[in-house]
């Protein structure tokens, strides 16, 4: 419980390698997580070699932890293995619909989070690399993923060199609803985001980027519509090429 | 670590309610999980009322735990709250692409898994209800979800009445790859699934369903192509109506 509540994303790692037995234990904890129909539609690609990390780095926008963390785990939605087994058994599996893309994303994420909790219980630190979906086709090539294996998320794992402050969160009341969703009044929205807007770090972001307010830093700088459209199109093209259906 | 490794899905719960402080603690652990850009694009709907559980039950195909578990948590991808804040700040947010649907699914799932680990640390049992995506539009109506709030997964939570045996998993070697994905030979696939095919429970499934083998139970009975297409279409229609773009 305390472990979960004290979670920080670690962006600076010691060079210390992660012991093989610890890695095995962490991965074992990962695959004990719940998954759809116990089909285990996922694969984990472990990257420890300096060369492979260098190959992956540009597709994670050269975030330093890709090269610095001793362990990089790419968590993939994998229908290739299960489909191969079905084909050998004269059984036709169809995972081409959006339902399965989302099921696979859920199962891969649950697995990833179990790996994070297990890693943290060993004193390791983790960082999720959301860049995985931005450059899934290129990451797939680096890791030699066959058709039916889609990178969903990546974890950098290692012993923390720097442990940052706990990041802020909206109050629990702001994200939890009882029995029915209670939509937010303008007043409620203003009040719940006020502390965030007033954080020193937020005000620095706003000034540095020459924006009017924090929300504009999110929409005009960090998560631009043009980027969302570009990367969504890349994902759609890759998935459609692999037989996924979006109509 | 032992907690993660001993995870079982619980399908039979005691009537004992979950203490309010425990619920708060579990939810707090949930929202400490990593999330994209700390935007917290999720909401948690807590269902405890008998009436609401009865309303939800048919959309979870009347699995008994929906009515029996003291707590039902529907975890949703929520852009409504964040978008409302952006609009008040003259900022235009665009989360309509596939990238954001997947980001939101990942963040919701990571949150859900933290809730599960926290719940289990209190001696509670959990069950993921994959039926959430099958009937997301109907579940959304029961919970009064506004536009921009999509149910991703549901957790039944309560004190276990029955703790089943640990379920089987493929060996770690079968799902982990080092440096590059090593595709599977026919021999490797046969060997890694052999123990599963030989399980007494598997053989019972095959016989009961009049199929030739276990793979066909999956493809012809449990996860039929027609169902996948139907439920994928429902999801696509709901998301398209809400402005998501799949082209």
Residue B151's pLDDT band (cuts 50, 70, 90): very high
Q: CA-CA distance, A94 to B226, in Å (whole number)?
A: 9
pLDDT at A70: 98
DSSP secondary structure string for all residues of A144-178: T--TTEEEEEEEEEE-BS--PPPPP---HHHHEEE
DSSP class of A204: H
- Bridge-based pairing state of the strands A42-47 and B176-178: parallel
| A184: CB partners within 8 A, 6+ apart | A192, B80, B81, B84
Q: Please enumerate in sequence order all residues whose Cβ is within 8 A of that of A217, keeping only pairs 6 or more positions apart, or say none.
A: A202, A205, A206, A209, A211
- Evaluated on CA atoms A231, B240, B146, B154, the torsion sign reads negative
pLDDT digits (tens, 9 = 90+) for B155-171: 999 999 989 999 999 99
- Chain CA centroid to CA A114, Å: 13
> Are the CB atoms for B237 and A97 separated by under 8 Å?
no
Nearest-CA distance from A71 to chain B in Å?
Answer: 11
Sole residue written with tokens 């578990």: B69
Q: Which DSSP category does A203 fall into?
A: H
Q: And the tokens for B60?
A: 């979870």
pLDDT tens-place values along chain A, 247 residues long: 788 999 999 999 999 999 999 999 999 999 999 999 999 999 999 999 999 999 999 999 999 999 999 999 999 999 999 999 999 999 999 999 999 999 999 999 999 999 999 999 999 999 999 999 999 999 999 999 999 999 999 999 999 998 999 999 999 999 999 999 999 999 999 999 999 999 999 999 999 999 999 999 999 999 999 999 999 999 999 999 999 999 8
Inter-chain residue contact A92 with B225, CB threshold 8 Å: yes
* B40/A169 touch (CB, cutoff 8 Å), yes or no: yes
Query: How far, in Å, are A32, A116, A174, B219 from residue B27 at the CA level?
Result: 22, 18, 12, 36
Predicted local confidence at residue B1, as pLDDT: 77
Give me the residues paired with residue B160 across strands: B13
- Neighbouring CB atoms inside 10 A of A174's CB total 18
Chain B residues within an 8 Å CB radius of A153: 106
Contact A228 B43 (CB under 8 A): no
Handedness of CA B68, B70, B74, B75 (dihedral sign): negative
pLDDT, mean over chain B: 96
CB contact under 8 A, B33 and A4: yes
**Distance (Å) from the C-alpha of residue B238 to the closest C-alpha of chain A?**
12
Other beta carbons within 10 angstroms of residue A218's beta carbon come to 22
Q: Do A229 and B103 touch (CB under 8 A)?
A: no
**């039902």: which residue's tokens?**
B72
Adjacency order of strands within the sheet including A71-78:
A125-129, A149-158, A71-78, A42-47, B176-178
Strand order, beta sheet including B71-78: A176-178, B42-47, B71-78, B149-158, B125-129
* Rounded Cα distance, B246 and A229, in Å: 10
Cβ A72 vs Cβ A66: under 8 Å: yes
- E-strand ranges in B21-165 read 42-47, 71-78, 125-129, 149-158
CA A137, CA B125: separation in Å to the nearest integer?
A: 38
pLDDT in tens, B181-234: 999 999 999 999 999 999 999 999 999 999 999 999 999 999 999 999 999 999
Instruction: Please give the pLDDT value at position B26.
Output: 97
CA distance linking residue B108 with residue B100, whole number of Å = 12
**Can you tell me the distance from the alpha carbon of A20 to that of A45, in angstroms, rounded to the nearest whole number?**
15
**Strand partners for A125:** A158
d(CA B206, CA A165): 54
Domains of chain B: 2-165 (3.40.109.10)
Interface of B with A in 96-125 (CB under 8 A): 96-103, 105-106, 108-110, 112-114, 116-118, 121-122
The secondary structure element, H or E, covering residue A125 is: strand A125-129
Listed residue (B45, B40, B33) closest to B71, CA to CA: B45
| Best residue of A175, A216, A231 to probe chain B, by most B CBs closer than 10 Å | A175
**How far is it, in rounded angstroms, from Cα A231 to Cα A234?**
5
What was the pLDDT predicted at B174?
97
Q: Is the pLDDT of residue B98 over 90?
A: yes
A131 touches chain B (CB under 8 A): no
């Amino acid at each position: 419980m305390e472990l979960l509540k004290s979670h920080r994303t670690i962006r600076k790692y010691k060079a210390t390698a992660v012991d093989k037995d610890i890695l095995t234990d962490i991965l074992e904890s990962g695959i004990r997580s719940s998954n759809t129909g116990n089909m285990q539609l996922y694969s984990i690609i472990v990257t420890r070699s300096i060369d492979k990390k260098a190959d992956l780095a540009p597709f994670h926008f050269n975030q330093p932890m890709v090269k610095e963390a001793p362990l990089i785990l790419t968590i993939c939605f994998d229908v290739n293995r299960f489909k191969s087994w079905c084909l050998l058994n004269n059984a036709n599996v169809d995972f081409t619909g959006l339902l399965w893309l989302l099921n696979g994303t859920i199962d891969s994420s649950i697995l990833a989070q179990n790996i994070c909790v297990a890693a943290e219980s060993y004193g390791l630190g983790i960082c999720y690399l959301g860049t995985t979906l931005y450059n899934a086709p290129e990451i797939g090539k680096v890791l030699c993923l066959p058709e039916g294996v889609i990178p969903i998320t990546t974890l950098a794992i290692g012993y923390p060199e720097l442990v940052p402050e706990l990041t802020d969160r909206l109050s629990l009341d702001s994200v939890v609803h009882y029995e029915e969703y209670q939509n937010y009044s303008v007043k409620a929205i203003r009040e719940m985001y006020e502390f965030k807007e007033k954080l020193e770090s937020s005000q620095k972001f706003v000034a540095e980027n020459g924006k009017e307010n924090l929300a504009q830093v999110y929409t005009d700088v960090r998560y631009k519509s043009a980027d969302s459209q570009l990367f969504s199109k890349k994902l759609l093209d890759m998935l459609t090429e692999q037989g996924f259906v979006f109509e």
